[in-house]
Amino acid sequence: MLSSLPVVGTAAATAIAAALAACAVAAVQLVGGPRIGRRRLLLAGALTLATVGTCVFGLTVWPKPFPDVVPWWIYAGAGTGVFVAVCAGLSWLPLRALGRPLQLWRKVALTTLVLPALILGYLCVNLEYQQYPTIGAFRRTPVAVQMSLEEFQQRDHPPTLDGREVGALVTVPAAPMRDAYAYVPPAYWQGATLPVMVLLSGSPGSPMGWFTDGQADETADVYQAQHGGASPIVIGVDGTGSTTGNPACVDGPQLQMQTYLADDIPRLIKDTFRVNQDQHTWTIGGLSYGGTCSLQVVANAPEAYGTFLDFSGEPEPSIGSHDKTVNEMFGGDEGAFRSVNPASLLVKAAGSDTYEGIAGRFVSGERDPMATKALPHLNFLARQAGMSTEYSTLPGAHSYQVWRAALRDTFAFAAKRGGLQ
């Protein structure tokens, strides 16, 4: 079926690259070729290089908001899409300096190329992060019914889809951050008191990311279908403050993120849902920045959650580099940084009972250099500090290919830690 056709992997990458190349060649020819359209092509090339160069500089030099390295093919694919779009835009400009005007059919043909070229450029990004592994993933079959908090509070029975009971995906206002989204399984309406799993996306990201891209609702639905309608209540919350925010998961100069996740979110959950009041049964987990943040919250507030899931996390809190993080988030105070840095806290706690009863899982992609270096070391420190942790790898890089599988693989572990069998 067309819906099962993969848009990631070697074959897909080859097809996407070939299609992008065809779009670029067609754009060159429609502009008039190297001779007639030379001026337009030179200007389009210069504008494209300037755009891509600015992005490369911003993501790798300054302000470098994310520590992760962006692969070259993302720049190449997106740049090709931009080149086609610029060629189309320039074809409509009546500037003598660009040469003689193009025929109408050439302008229309160029404009028609823009959308497929930009889609192919996005698919180059998707090759790396794998938000959508197949064509069908762009329009998933729902496994939970979305509703507002008011609608949820008025229900006295679980929602249904295709004649079977399913969970609800509830929008929960979570000021001062963005709304949270909670998957509530059918057993909730049977009077069950359930554990909690708080999930954090990366940066860039959103509280809904674990459901739209990470398929957390599908993982929870499979679990509840096998366990009499019960699963943890899974809540995607805001750990960054905005789509591209990076507050380093600390109580910093602008956002009090550690306090928000360790104190405010648990209070909000208890006030909103009927849950197990013992937070030692709760789990906090996340991917990339969210993984770093999950370990960080537990390391700084072990009373807030009993279990953590660190998928592809970083070695330490970071807004791009160590020096930048210390200077901007801690006023240049290295001691203040170490006082919240998980690695430092774990070393300090070795041989004590600070983290007694805390358990966790570290998971990285086999082709994720930063995580495969950082997480085994953090796992060692966590075990030395008295935590019960394990480290494992999965096929893939720094992508949802890894994070979806990691959640599936650790979900039963977290549920058992929450008292579900």
Percentage of the chain exceeding pLDDT 90: 84
Look up the domain containing 256 and give its range: 141-417
* Bridge partner list, 283: 197, 307
pLDDT tens-digit readout, 120-167: 999 999 998 888 999 988 888 999 999 999 999 999 999 999 999 999
Residue 41 is predicted with a pLDDT of 87
Residues 127 and 176 in one domain: no
DSSP string for residues in 140-155: PPPSEEEEEHHHHHH-
At 68, which amino acid appears?
A: D
Percentage of the chain exceeding pLDDT 70: 98
Q: Is 130 left (phi over 0), alpha (psi -120 to 50) or beta?
A: left
Residue 213 is predicted with a pLDDT of 94
Average pLDDT over residues 319-323: 91
Residues 128 and 170 in one domain: no
Residue 400 is predicted with a pLDDT of 95
At 357, which amino acid appears?
A: G
Residue 241 is predicted with a pLDDT of 96
CB under 8 Å to 137, separation ≥6 — which residues?
A: 7, 131
* Bridge partner list, 234: 183, 197
Residues 224 and 99 in one domain: no
CA distances from residue 189 to 158, 193, 229 in whole angstroms, order as listed? 6, 10, 10
CB under 8 Å to 193, separation ≥6 — which residues?
A: 274, 275, 276
For residue 409, give the nearest of 418, 401, 420, 398 by alpha carbon: 401
Question: With contact defined as beta carbons under 8 Å apart, do 252 and 329 qualify?
Answer: yes
Residues 312 and 327 in one domain: yes
Residue 139 is predicted with a pLDDT of 85
For residue 77, give the nearest of 134, 133, 127 by alpha carbon: 127
According to DSSP, the β-strands at 307-311 and 283-287 are: parallel
Residues 118 and 101 in one domain: yes
Residues 168 and 66 in one domain: no
Residues 170 and 130 in one domain: no
Give the total residue count for the chain.
Answer: 421
Task: Tell me which of 135, 161, 185 is where a domain ends.
Answer: 135
Residue 374 is predicted with a pLDDT of 98
CB under 8 Å to 267, separation ≥6 — which residues?
A: none
Residues 287 and 262 in one domain: yes
Residue 32 is predicted with a pLDDT of 79
Residue 36 is predicted with a pLDDT of 67
42 vs 98, which has greater pLDDT? Answer: 42
Task: Tell me which of 135, 167, 188 is where a domain ends.
Answer: 135
Q: Where residue 404 sits, what CATH number does that domain have?
A: 3.40.50.1820
For the chain, the average pLDDT equals 94
* Bridge partner list, 251: 256
- Counting the structural domains of the chain, the total is 2
Question: With contact defined as beta carbons under 8 Å apart, do 374 and 318 qualify?
Answer: no
pLDDT at 68 exceeding the cut of 90: no
Average pLDDT over residues 37-64: 86
CA distances from residue 91 to 23, 113, 120, 179, 257 in whole angstroms, order as listed? 16, 13, 21, 43, 49
Torsion of CA 369, 125, 129, 221, to 10 degrees: 180
93 vs 214, which has greater pLDDT? Answer: 214
Task: Tell me which of 135, 169, 199 is where a domain ends.
Answer: 135
Question: With contact defined as beta carbons under 8 Å apart, do 31 and 100 qualify?
Answer: no
144 vs 103, which has greater pLDDT? Answer: 144
Residue 217 is predicted with a pLDDT of 98
Residues 151 and 202 in one domain: yes
Residues 117 and 146 in one domain: no
Average pLDDT over residues 181-192: 97
Average pLDDT over residues 94-118: 88
Task: Note the pTM of the prediction, 2 decimals.
Answer: 0.89
Average pLDDT over residues 362-383: 97
Residues 86 and 221 in one domain: no
Question: With contact defined as beta carbons under 8 Å apart, do 284 and 262 qualify?
Answer: no
| pLDDT interval class at 34 (50, 70, 90) | low
| pLDDT interval class at 95 (50, 70, 90) | confident
Residue 96 is predicted with a pLDDT of 72
